[in-house]
Amino acid sequence: MSILSVNIAASNLEGALFGIFLALAIASLCLLVHRRWKEVNAHSVVPVGWLVSAKGMWRSTLFVATIFFIIQISAHWIIGVTRMFDAFLYYEDGTKASAYYANLRKPLEVARTALLILTLFTGDLVLVHRMWIVWNRRTLIAIPTCVTSLGLITSGIGVLYQFSRHSPTDSIFTKKITDWVIGVVVSTLLTKIYGTAMISYRIYVVNKALKDNGLQRGGQSILEILMIFVESSTLSTAWTIFFAIAYASKSALQSLPTSCSPAVNGIAFMLITVRVGLGWDLQLGITGPQDRPETATLAPFQAYPLRAIRLTVTTTVERETDFALTSTSQKQSDNALDIGKD
């Protein structure tokens, strides 16, 4: 594959993915603001309008992260389109488009790469934050991913420095660039794989415990798989591996995943935000002390380990729309259930 054909394909694919991301982002913002509006009016005597209720959204982690993603990914796409016009119309009258794309020292290419690194870093931070929430805010669990995220930023700065000193005659696969690129790939992969494994394990163990004790209704396996996929950012992990394989093979195809990576990471994050905005959760059928059916809404990763004879039901209510992302854990000792008794 030639560098020109790959960049043309990348520009078109990035445009399509950007459209999907933008649609999800707008839907996510509307859903989050709507939930905020409903919650404010539920506790207000006087009806509150949309604009008034939306003021507190700036203290919401998901809302702010969504705004950052929109700015970063939009700027990345705009720069990509600008570079395409420069390559085919303005640079040497469009006669040397391949040479234009191969020149990593161009200011627009450096800026575009900086936005790529920033988007990867933002996506990793969101994954770390979600993992931290899933594990009930255990700081020790998040320390490894904080270290790898710092490694991503350090390696990213190294890549930008090498790009700014790049010679038009050099390849992107030279050792001085490859060393820093490896640092970026390894850092973000470790963050994504570790976060994916920890979130998936947490959800799997708790769901299995609920099923074994008869607290979860059947027919929810698809929802469980969807939640694991969304929460662990499997999409962005697979895309990073795609880039690693293409770059390791020294193929011009590596331009495709690098061009589309911000949009892919944004889509993965928007799936999380849409899930929160729609309020997806698992409905568990629970039997009370007098065999009276009750319904409780429990996030699967927020239940506590189940005991053999006596189970104390603990619920965690996660609010994504009010202020900063918070979890309010409320132990309901009066809902203690006797399991396995005659």
pLDDT of residue 58: 73
What is the H or E stretch that residue 305 is in?
none
pLDDT of residue 220: 53
What pairing do the DSSP bridges indicate for beta strands 326-331 and 314-319? antiparallel
Asked if 34 contacts 320 with a C-beta cutoff of 8 angstroms, the reply is no
pLDDT of residue 129: 87
pLDDT of residue 53: 62
Asked if 120 contacts 152 with a C-beta cutoff of 8 angstroms, the reply is yes
Q: Which stretches does DSSP call E strand in 67-175?
A: none
Residues in Cβ contact with 27 at an 8 Å cutoff, skipping those fewer than 6 apart: 270, 274, 277
pTM: 0.77
pLDDT of residue 232: 60
What is the H or E stretch that residue 139 is in?
helix 139-164
Amino acid at 94: G
What is the H or E stretch that residue 225 is in?
helix 221-231
Task: Calculate Rg over the CA atoms of the chain.
Answer: 24
58 C-beta neighbours (distance < 10 Å), count: 11
122 C-beta neighbours (distance < 10 Å), count: 19
Instruction: Output the CA angle 335-338-342, nearest 5 degrees.
Output: 145
pLDDT of residue 61: 80
Tens-of-pLDDT digits for all 342 residues of the chain? 788 999 999 999 999 999 999 999 998 888 888 777 776 666 665 666 656 566 667 777 888 889 999 999 999 999 999 999 999 999 988 889 999 999 999 999 999 999 999 999 998 998 898 888 888 889 999 999 999 999 999 999 999 999 999 888 788 999 999 999 999 999 999 998 898 888 888 877 777 777 777 665 554 554 555 566 666 678 888 899 999 999 999 999 999 999 999 999 999 888 877 776 665 543 333 333 433 334 444 444 444 444 444 444 443 344 443 333 333 333 333 333 333 333
Instruction: Output the CA angle 274-221-275, nearest 5 degrees.
Output: 5
pLDDT of residue 45: 58
Amino acid at 166: H
pLDDT of residue 34: 76
DSSP three-state, residue 103: coil
The region, left, alpha or beta by phi > 0 then psi within -120 to 50, assigned to residue 277 is: alpha
Phi, psi (degrees; rounded to nearest 5) at 314 = -120, 130
Q: Which stretches does DSSP call E strand in the chain?
A: 282-287, 293-298, 310-311, 314-319, 326-331, 337-338
